[in-house]
Amino acid sequence: MAVLALKALVSQRSGVLPVVQALAAALGGGIAIEDVGGKLLFGDSAAGSARLPVSVDDEVIGWVSGSADAAASIVALLQHLAAKEMERRALAGEVLHLYREVHLIGQLSEELAAVLDVADVGQAALEQALRLIPGSHAGILIREDLEGPLRPLGSHKPPLAPESRFVASVLDRGVAEIVNDYPADARAHAEEASLRSLISAPLLTKQRTIGLITLADTDGAPYSAAHLKLLNTIAMQTAAAIENAIASQQLLHREVERQALKLYLPPQVADLIVSAGGTSQLAGVLQSITVLYADIRGFTTMSEEMEARDIVQMLNDFFTAMSGVIFQCNGTLDKFIGDCIMALFGAPVASERSSRDALEAALGMQQALQVLNQSRVERKLRPFQIGIGLHCGLAVVGNIGSADRVQYTAIGDTVNVAARLVNKAAAGQIIVSEAIRERIPDYAGFEALGEVDLKGRTSKMNIYAVRE
């Protein structure tokens, strides 16, 4: 097929024909122009004795007949105009190709901006790279942290293994590279011999090189500087998108962790732990804490007399009201045990105010219970009373459990004593140990109850009731 149709070149619309007519008249000879098949396009087919070809890129696109000089001049004109037309078309093609590249790069940018999964980022980048750059293989290798191993990203298998010498070279230098005879390259492994040409670009962020994107071809089609420029652009966008996706996942993880911590910690403490490194900061440590136990008096009897649904509602009301008070007083909700609440003060964040905070929480819980009972009575529901016990001392606090399930809690004699004290508390009563009274010497509301025996302890303990 002709690269250019002579008919289009000398058409009335092109504006060339008047020029040809004027030149033919000036040369004083009849001229005939035919297409490559001999069809007359202009003039008289019987004009002159010379018949010369009109060629573009060594391909005949038509003929000019007439006197030798006239025919040669017209041929020269037509070939010049044809060459200019070919240049115009080539330029238009380049502009169109450039527009397509810009469009696809813009499309990739929009697509990556909407993706927050690292694997999806890699997949989108590889698919777009293969639309713009030829290749039989394509892949991305990334390293999510500085010391971590390289791993494939996306569903495409990378043409080079993570341990490839070529991969190491690109990552070390941080510079994109083309190798159009890869088997001859000193860095090529024997198992990579099927790859003939290869192009690779590092994934660079502001801080470090996080990986690389590589395309390869087994047929040996050479890569060019234009391909390298495109791949560098794709690599730059991909690196930024991967970094954003990793950051988003870390933020999401921290938010999930924060919300989980807020189920048993005051919001400000949860925020502090997350900002300090998350639940890894909750490893078991020995520290001074205050333990609060509170449970419902007469719960067993009430359970026998109430519907199960009403018991669940009562417990939910109780736990909700008491948890709010505990959090307001900087306490940590350790667990619910049947009808009992266990709370810690001074953990996970150590505090010299832990005993004072716990006492304020105990008093606040009794006040909150009065409000709750008033509401229950108005709803024709049964009111109830609670007893509270407090003790302070050293305990091991942290995430304790199995590989499958852990819980933030405290263990030790301090916890056991607090559990024994709550059993000494009557309905509406708060019982504290001698250690609590010593921690809050300025509080005048302690009423000595004398020494008592506590289960599991060999010596007696002084205990006190709390008056508001």
* pLDDT (tens digit per residue) in 181-192: 998 888 988 888
On the 0-12 / 13-18 / 19+ scale of CB atoms within 10 A, 244 is middle
Higher-confidence residue of 44 and 395: namely: 395
Whether 343 contacts 357, CB under 8 Å: no
Amino acid at the residue 254: R
Q: Domains of the chain: which residue ranges? A: 6-94, 115-252, 267-466
pLDDT of res. 264? 59
| pLDDT over 80 (residue 448) | yes
Higher-confidence residue of 170 and 10: namely: 170
Whether 24 contacts 31, CB under 8 Å: yes
| Mean pLDDT for all residues in the chain | 83
Higher-confidence residue of 67 and 139: namely: 139
Q: In whole angstroms, what is the distance from residue 290 CA to residue 436 CA?
A: 8
pLDDT of res. 93? 62
Q: In whole angstroms, what is the distance from residue 337 CA to residue 144 CA?
A: 42
Supply 298's token pair: 């007469």
Query: What average pLDDT score do residues 271-293 get?
Result: 73
Express as a percent the part of the chain with pLDDT over 70: 84
Q: Is the dihedral of CA 125, 126, 132, 138 positive or negative?
A: positive
pLDDT of res. 343? 95
Count other C-beta atoms under 10 Å from residue 298's C-beta. 12
Q: What is the pLDDT of residues 37-96, one digit of tens each?
A: 888 887 776 666 788 888 888 888 888 888 888 888 888 888 888 888 777 777 666 655
Domain 115-252, CATH class in plain words:
alpha beta
Higher-confidence residue of 177 and 269: namely: 177
Query: What average pLDDT score do residues 129-145 get?
Result: 85
When mean pLDDT is compared across 48-52, 112-116, 205-209, 444-448, the lowest value belongs to 112-116
pLDDT of res. 1? 41
Architecture in CATH of 267-466: 2-Layer Sandwich (3.30)
State which of 9-23, 48-62, 164-178 shows the largest mean pLDDT: 164-178
Instruction: State the alpha helices, DSSP H only, in 114-183.
Output: 118-132, 165-173
Whether 290 contacts 344, CB under 8 Å: yes
Q: Which residues pair with 338 in a beta bridge?
A: none
State which of 108-112, 124-128, 388-392 shows the largest mean pLDDT: 388-392
Whether 241 contacts 125, CB under 8 Å: yes
Count other C-beta atoms under 10 Å from residue 464's C-beta. 21
pLDDT of res. 385? 95
Whether 341 contacts 295, CB under 8 Å: yes
pLDDT of res. 2? 47
Quick one: pLDDT band at residue 344, thresholds 50, 70, 90?
A: very high
| pLDDT over 50 (residue 326) | yes
Q: Is the dihedral of CA 429, 433, 435, 437 positive or negative?
A: positive
214 closest CA partner among 229, 231, 237, 226:
231
Contacts of 195 by beta carbon, 8 Å cutoff, 6+ apart = 137, 159, 160, 182, 183, 188, 216, 217, 218
Give helix 354-378 / helix 308-328 axis angle, nearest 10°. 140
| pLDDT over 80 (residue 276) | no
Q: What is the pTM of this model?
A: 0.53
265 closest CA partner among 340, 365, 333, 356:
333
346 closest CA partner among 333, 361, 322, 330:
330
| pLDDT over 70 (residue 269) | no
Higher-confidence residue of 352 and 245: namely: 352
Element (H, E) at 76: helix 68-113
| pLDDT over 70 (residue 206) | yes
Quick one: pLDDT band at residue 104, thresholds 50, 70, 90?
A: low
Query: What average pLDDT score do residues 407-416 get?
Result: 89
SS3 431: strand
